[in-house]
Chains A and B, each alone.
Chain A
Amino acid sequence: MPSEETYFKHSLRVNDYLCQGCTTCMRTCPTRAIRIRGGKAIISDNKCVDCGECIKVCPHKAIYIKQDDFGLLFNYKYRVCLVPTTFIGQFEEKYKTRAIYSCIKKLGFTHIYEVEHEVSRMVDLYNLYMDEHPELTTFISPYCPAVTRLIQVRFPSLVDNVIHVRAPLELASRVITKRLMDEGASRPSIGVFYVTPCAAKIAAVKYPVSGKETYVSGVINMDFLYNKVLLMLHDSDKLTQPINHTLSSRDVLWPLSGGEAPHFRGAHYAVDGLRNVLEFLEKLEDEAVDAPGLVEMRICDQGCVGGVLTTNNRFVARKRLEYRARLFERLEHSKIRETGSDDCSLTDEMVDVMTIPEIKPRSIYKLNDDFAEAFKMAERMKKIEKALPGVNCSACGAPSCAALAEDIVRGDAGIDTCIFINRHSQASEDAIRSIWGDRVKTKEINKDNNGYDSQGNH
């Protein structure tokens, strides 16, 4: 494919050994970022938004999320586990939160900090942006990084509606780093490791839209940590490390769809799941819905408990988290809970760290920067689309006939790749071979004993 400037990078990877080129992911991808080449799925960096749908649907478990080496942890004297409450939602109610956290510490962490400590400051940051933009009526929560990227590539007209604030984990990592430094630790001796439920949060840390520095040193996949902790919980004898609980019950529920609502006055919408998010954004863009207020959107069904790196069913995890929230509520009321010394104020410096100057539109539709050229290409694309069979068989290595038409005008594919159009030509045979590689050979097996295939060709 012609090289172009890459704006986005990702932690999603295709395992070429496991990938069967079955086209399932390609047909599911909401930004049509996947093609089959050489018999394997390849993902386009500029189109992918890290939604994780491809991982969820892959029948061969061939797509995975690259995580940092756990051993990195020990390069630091102070090792902070930055954990979202989604993590404790993975565990059965019978396990005490402090037992879970004790296990995390036993794995080598010196500190644990829950991202949701930053909820009240995040609310202040949202409100700041909303107050600064009275010309806008609909505001989209910046909580889910996949939603922000999806808007950049598919709904560029809505980029300003996204609250220009970085993810809560960025604030949390900065706050805990600052606190340790105030206690005398040097910056290089502090390692902050975020436990991620999905690919999008990793991308947001490693390749931020804001282009700003991160205080997160590494990322750990949630399923990896879950397995380690669960094993320890099972054969633990004494896990009595006291944990400083200062989260309110409302904070605990923040990662769930609808979790931001209780913190805001005014109209509020909670949209979760890829299909629903796409539908709502489409309507917003057309002004076909009138949605004044805050729109909370999560790419994953139910919110972060539906993340691809979670280990338990999202409905069960939601229920567990709600149970813990009630528990925290009781602790609040009975004052058994240690009262937090946490200062919730938002400093100018935090505002500076957390603000995103600009969310750039990165349309994946635009055919060319030059209008006249784009016009020619669109015209040609329309003609090609008409010539294609419209069955969306994906044998050309593209998700649909429309996508192939676009690939052709962009110079990324030849019309020969359509097996309907060029059923019997050598050019088609060659083109198909370049898409499917060695798998074309299986055709030989289908020939009957006389060496003739079903069409009577020798």
Chain B
Amino acid sequence: MHYSFNIERGNFTDAGQASSSVKRTLKQLGVDPVNIKRTVVALFEAEINAVAHAYGGRIDVDIDGEKIVMVVADEGPGIPNLDLAMQEGWSTASAKVREMGYGAGMGLPNIKKNTDDLKIDTQVGVGTTVTMTVYLT
């Protein structure tokens, strides 16, 4: 099963549609609530990053008989130092983004924690593609 969604730059309020839609499907499949939560949290964080740090992008979700693969690809500044970005608490979020309640620097670490497989392709000045896999059964 395939789903795709657009991500709009700076649109925090509409973010989360992809994760709620995925959540609905996982509930239909009777996926364990713990795995649903892991999936939803990871997808939401990746989407928020594309909204907050990049210029929007696209989400592609594929569910098959055993796993869910979520690809969040954006056009944006890229991540110059990935090791640093993966550290808890590290954030370059603007004051404005922080005011909105984001930018605690926990997004990427949380994605790492909640997924079974994580791949980040990033190129400075071009964009970032985050590929996340969660095994459902």
Contact = CB atoms under 8 A, between A and B. Distances in A.
A381 B33 contact: no
Given A157-B36, A286-B40, A371 B65 contact: yes
A interface, by DSSP: helix, strand, loop or mixed? helix
Interface in B102-137: 136-137
Interface stretch (B24-32, B50-58, B84-92): B24-32
Interface in B1-55: 1, 16, 19-20, 23-25, 27-31, 33-34, 36-37, 40-41, 44
A371 B40 contact: no
B33 A369 contact: no
Nearest to A154: B27
A378 B28 contact: yes
Contact of A365 (B1, B28, B41, B63): B28
B41 to A, nearest CB: 6
Nearest to B66: A371
Given A286-B20, A378-B25, A379-B1, A368 B30 contact: yes
A371 B28 CA distance: 10
A434 to B, nearest CB: 26
B contacts with A: majority SS: helix
A378 B31 CA distance: 12
Interface residues of B, number: 24
Contact of A367 (B23, B29, B44, B137): B29
Contacts of B41: 286-287
A288 B16 contact: yes
A372 B28 CA distance: 12
Contacts of B25: 378
Contact of A286 (B1, B29, B30, B44): B44
A439 B64 CA distance: 44
Given A286-B40, A371-B65, A372-B65, A378 B29 contact: yes
Chain A's interface size range is 20 to 34
Interface string A302-322: 000000000000000000000
A375 B136 CA distance: 11
A344 interface: no
B16 A375 contact: no
A363 interface: yes
A366 B37 contact: no
A137 to B, nearest CB: 14
A159 to B, nearest CB: 9
Nearest to A156: B33
Given A366-B30, A374-B29, A382 B1 contact: yes
Shortest Cβ-Cβ A-B pairs, 4 listed: A157-B33, A365-B27, A366-B30, A374-B29
Interface of B: 1, 16, 19-20, 23-25, 27-31, 33-34, 36-37, 40-41, 44, 63-65, 136-137
22 contacts: A157-B33, A157-B34, A157-B36, A285-B23, A286-B16, A286-B19, A286-B23, A286-B37, A286-B40, A288-B16, A288-B44, A361-B33, A365-B27, A366-B28, A366-B29, A366-B30, A367-B30, A371-B136, A374-B30, A375-B64, A378-B29, A381-B28
